[in-house]
Chains A and B, each alone.
Chain A
Amino acid sequence: MSMEYRLRLAKRMLFNKKGSLIGAVLAVTIGILVIHVNFVIFQGLFDAIVRDISNYRNGDILVTDEADYIDKSDLALANWFERIPFVQGATPRLSSSAEINMTKNGKLIEETRVPVVGVDPYRDVKASTAHETVAEGTYILNRNSVVLGNNVASDLGNAQVGESLKMLIVDRYGEDQVRRFTVAGIVKSPGGQGLDYSVVMHIDTLRDMMAREGESGSFMVKLNDPTKAFEVKEFFLAAYPNDDFIAETIEESAEEQLAGFRSGIAMINLIGYFGMMSSAFAIVTIQMMLVNGKTREIGVMRSIGAKRKDILIIFIFQGMIIGAIGAGVGTAAGLGYTIYAKETKMSFMNSIPLEVNYNWEKIIQTALLSFTLAIIASLYPSYRATKLLPVEAMRTV
């Protein structure tokens, strides 16, 4: 029997059993779809968090000092980075924590241990999108104003733009430094991954209050081509071999926050693959039914000379057809969902918008995997079909 003829018989038998065909294809499709949906949602969430950490806090590369604060001048470092064509911007940041007093409706509200971020208003806009999260008022910034994170503002009894507050910061010598500021704006980011829990102020004011003239806590570097992060980082470290700098790509700097999430995704992927396995079992069952339903036909073919190998290949072809159609439909459905999620900037309950990417490698891998699984699933039923004796087959009416 020629291969073409075996394929033709396989197709005929399968397409005349629409119900079984649809069932088996659906099993493959659902297996693939589950993987795609999982990927869109959980990898999308993961990537969204990475995106926001990168955009608001760590850049694509985060430079810190091994032991202490960075004491290289802003100008020197920013200029060094911005000479590199991949670099979009580089900006210093400084962090501390503060105690804030605010009088609201004659009542004094006090908040302690509020994170404070010092930013350079001119450089920051090139390296971070934090300024785009301003919900009210303006982003900074003169030296007497602060921008409140949305959550800080509400903790302070719903602080408004234009109101004033008093801030206490302990300087490097242990002295309390107190100053009065005006609220210039309020920032609020989707999903709260921005500076929603912090107070943002001019970096020079913060340096002043901390008694750290010219020092920075970190330098965040934003690239216009994030894939070059490792290269730029290595280049930087090589350029400053004696300065005890630590430079980390976003994957490295955000690792601590993402480690748990990462293992969660691994778990979910595992569940997806279990789903695929159960699709495979569904195919085994459906194909066993197909084989049983064709007992007589198999007997007829065998009695007029078809070999065991012919029968085996006919049913494996059926597995391949099921796998191919299922992989096609499943991938199309999965891509449909992915495109939908990307175009609508899907988010859940107004939270962080998913960062949806087309991971072609994974898409193709998933399709191939389910195709392969369908074929493997068809092996046992096909083998069983070859074990039917022609004489047994003839006995069934």
Chain B
Amino acid sequence: MTKIYGIGENQVKALDDATFSIGQGEFVLIVGSSGSGKSTLLNMIGLLDRPTKGKVFIDGIDTTKLDDNKISSFRNKKLGFIFQFSNLLTDLTVLENVLLPRQIGGTNGSSEKDARELLKSVGLESQLNKRANKISGGQAQRVAIARGLINHPSVVLADEPTGNLDSVTSGIIIQLMKSMAKKLNQTFIIVTHEPEHFGDVDKIITIKDGRALEGNHLREEEIIA
């Protein structure tokens, strides 16, 4: 896919025919220097923005053909999001935040049980009824992970999920994502500028000059960068 921001002289070609595919259950990192288009790419995959040219297939569905309402439902059912900052609705409690995707897409009888279980597996069973603005950054990312998983999405997308955390907490969150991915056979696509902290992963996509280079090891220049 290609993404061009702006018009005329102010045009920025953030992605230039970047092409790749990711299999079910893969744990994938997207790396690249700052401003290389990592977030842009993730936003396209997450259907938060549309490519200027090209297509995004998820579960074999051509998402570029969907209208706004269908895209919303698609995001709700098939995608989970973890962002760098303040992912949560601060007016809601921890538990309510995890339940939010179910509230949006339609709840079922087991929603609350599912949410409690997920919060337990990310280690927050004691914080269920705390308001989301009363917990630490690391805890907030755990809540975001639980929320991202509650609808059993096809893929969880994370844009620098540890970018705002200290290195110890950051390590814990990375391990949590990896273990959840393994346990649930859950596809993760994670934008990061510190891929070395992730250890072994299934795939690393490097964005350079708007293009996507696939591999399963870090390239020389990234280790230096």
Q: Which residues of A contact B (CB under 8 A)?
A: 1-2, 5, 9, 12-13, 16, 296-297, 300-310, 389-391, 394, 397
Contacts and interface: CB of A to CB of B under 8 A. Distances in A.
Contacts of A389: 48-49
Interface in B32-48: 43, 46, 48
A302 B91 contact: no
A225 B85 CA distance: 72
Contact of A305 (B72, B83, B89, B92): B72
Given A305-B77, A310-B104, A390-B48, A300 B88 contact: yes
Contact of B72 (A300, A306, A391): A306
Interface residues of B, number: 30
A264 B105 CA distance: 57
A305 B90 CA distance: 18
Contacts of A296: 86
B191 to A, nearest CB: 12
B129 interface: no
Interface string B12-53: 000000000000000000000000000000010010110000
Lowest 8 A-B CB distances belong to which pairs? A305-B76, A12-B91, A391-B48, A307-B72, A305-B104, A391-B49, A390-B48, A305-B75
Given A9-B91, A303-B48, A303-B75, 18 more contacts: A297-B91, A300-B83, A300-B89, A304-B75, A304-B80, A304-B81, A304-B101, A304-B104, A305-B72, A305-B75, A307-B73, A308-B69, A390-B48, A391-B43, A391-B49, A394-B43, A394-B83, A397-B86
A9 B69 CA distance: 20
A302 B101 CA distance: 10
B101 to A, nearest CB: 5
A394 B46 CA distance: 12
Given A1-B103, A397-B85, A305 B48 contact: no
A305 B91 contact: no
Among B49, B92, B103, the one with the most A-chain Cβ atoms within 10 Å of its Cβ is: B103
Contacts of A13: 91
B100 A304 contact: yes
A301 B105 CA distance: 11
B87 interface: yes
A360 to B, nearest CB: 38
B68 interface: yes
B142 interface: no
Contacts of B49: 389, 391
B69 A307 contact: yes
A9 B48 CA distance: 22
A12 B92 CA distance: 8
B211 interface: no
A301 to B, nearest CB: 7
A200 B176 CA distance: 101
30 contacts: A2-B103, A5-B103, A9-B89, A12-B91, A12-B92, A13-B91, A296-B86, A297-B91, A303-B46, A303-B48, A303-B81, A304-B75, A304-B80, A304-B101, A304-B147, A305-B72, A305-B75, A305-B76, A305-B77, A305-B101, A305-B104, A305-B105, A306-B76, A306-B104, A307-B69, A308-B68, A309-B69, A389-B48, A390-B48, A394-B43
